[in-house]
Amino acid sequence: MGELTATHFLLLSAALFITGMMGVLTRRNVLVIFMSVELMVNAVNVSFVGFAWEQNSMIGQTFALFVIGIAAAEAVLGLGIVMALSRRADTVDVAEVTELRD
């Protein structure tokens, strides 16, 4: 504590990332999983911008911008898949969709 250093931001980023990861691993509702993934992406964004601030560089912010753009596209397609899945399997529970099972 004391001065604001990049360590603070990195720890925040780590915490958010882990939280999102546990959501992905634990929840069964595919939409909640999707939102957890968005949480992880945002945590990474924080990390990028934190480094950029510490190093007086613009590259981090540029990258974060691209990440947001790609995340948008991914959201569209991912949610389209969710809708198709729900139509097909009549459920949004990933535990029901076990066709990869031996």
- Report 35-64 residues binding other proteins (CB under 8 A): 35-36, 38-39, 42, 45-46, 49-50, 52-59, 61-62, 64
**Shortest spacing between CB 63 and other proteins, in angstroms:** 9
Structure tokens at 80: 């389209």
Taken in order 83, 43, 73, 101, is the CA torsion positive or negative?
A: negative
3-state secondary structure of 29: strand
Q: How far is CA 96 from CA 26, 79, 99, in A?
A: 15, 18, 9
**Shortest spacing between CB 81 and other proteins, in angstroms:** 7
**Shortest spacing between CB 40 and other proteins, in angstroms:** 10
Return the residues of window 59-98 that contact other proteins according to CB under 8 A. 59, 61-62, 64-66, 68-77, 79-84, 86-87, 91-95, 97-98
